[in-house]
Structure 1
Amino acid sequence: MTTPARTTRTAAARRGSTSEVGRLLRGWRERRRVSQLDLALRADSSARHISFVETGRSRPSEEFLLRLAEHLDVPVRERNALLLAAGYAPRFSETSLDDPSLGALRAGLDQLLRGYEPYPALIVDATYDVVASNRGVALLMEPLPEHLLSARPLNAMRLTLHPEGLAPRIRNLRAWRGHLLAQMERQIALARSPALRALHAEVSGYPVPDRDEDPEPAGGVPYFALPMILEHDGQVLSFVSSISTFNTPMDVTVAELAVETLLPADPATVKYLRRTAD
């Protein structure tokens, strides 16, 4: 028989979990700048129900909570946090890339990186640690000091912006640095990641020149996107970056992987990379 004291404790715990998930859900809705009414229309619910969930007056079902998270584009790791806050088990696993179950994924990614050669391509995780890279990336990293290249894990942001990394050879460092820091800030706004915040604090503190050089595009053809203009072995190379992620991932690790490819932005860069690959 349930005692009154136990019933009171259970009810209090339920109210606490309901209040926490409501607070988190409201935070995501406000971050996405979506009104309660708009979210309700998207999720086939009512603004009153959304309000009750956010204020802790109603506990959402597991499926309803996941539906709201989907419409708010909540990252997979944070969907698990919402479920836990509501008193449910996490829905999404977090599998190590070394796990045999991800063997086909690793093989496919390796093939993708090799197929992009001689152009640089790499795969990073949620904190920009390098998971894999191809020979095009290795070529750009050749002149870097051993203490940076031997650090594990290698971090793409640190290698790019460190004063002993690529930074001294990036002719438009101020502009490229601004692009990278803004990219990190958008990710920080989407995820509660102390590691990412610490990395941002570190790399944003690296020295930066007063102004960029203003090299003319090779052949006089305007750039179609902000390039990274890099000196390498006496040659000026220009790259634009493209980032790809997985659609509808069901695993936290996979959800946080990003494939970054550096596309040559001018014919001179294409010619140089193909020549060095021969």
Structure 2
Amino acid sequence: MIRFEGVSYSYPDDRQVLNGIDLQIEKGTFTTIIGDNGSGKSTLVRHMNGLLTPSDGTVSVCGMGTFDPENLWEIRQMVGMVFQDPHSQAVGATVEEDVAFGPENLALKREEVRIRVSDSILDVGLEGFEEHLLMNLSGGQLQKTALAGVLAMKAEYLVFDEVTSMLDQDSRSQVLEIVLKLNRMGKTIVYVTHHMEEVLASDRVIVMEGGSVAIDGSPADVFRELYNSGHRIPPLMELVFRLQDSGILDRGVLPVNANSLMEGLCQSM
């Protein structure tokens, strides 16, 4: 479990970015974090593996506080992060070299490194690209390489900070499908995004506003609250709520795509 208790954070210029955050990320869950620019999303997730430490309050991972430097090595093996710009995480010349960098620095046996690299590359669908130069990869392939590097560290908690924001629609869909597969495999996912339609894939949604948690709930509950207050939500969800409010669609149905909406309509008739 990742636990935030009374966490506030201010930058050196005294600008406060987080304000009294209390939350828990349970193991095996898929949590999406959304909010406007400057709401504190990225600052929040950078506390999860000790890249930032609170000005006030505490963050702990499986009971280990990030405030203790002696815990950081183990915490960062448990909590892997993938960022918006895949170039910022590239450390090798080829896909294989890049993915192997982390495990090699754990002083593992060569065979263990080879197995981890091979398995991670397979998990993200980059088999056959092992010797490809990073400079020749597409944005989507670079993000998959960064993700494979985190998987090779055997991280149980995977934090994605707007990883699809620089990708085209096809690459976004591919990366999200990999993330969903990893969650089905038991990995804990924390997923920051501006793409509201991606939120439907998660179990839980946290809406950040002004450095605080404004809304915290299931996708259905959060989108309903946003819809009722006049905020923009995915067109599919707006249609769902209109149909529910008019009595055409059962309120217990939460379609995630057009096909499941049609199934829900058939069940409601």
TM exceeding 0.5: no
In terms of fraction of residues, the more helix-rich structure is: 1
Structure number with the bigger relative contact order (C-alpha 8 A, sep ≥ 6) is 2
TM-score using structure 1 length: 0.26
TM-score using structure 2 length: 0.27
In terms of fraction of residues, the more strand-rich structure is: 2
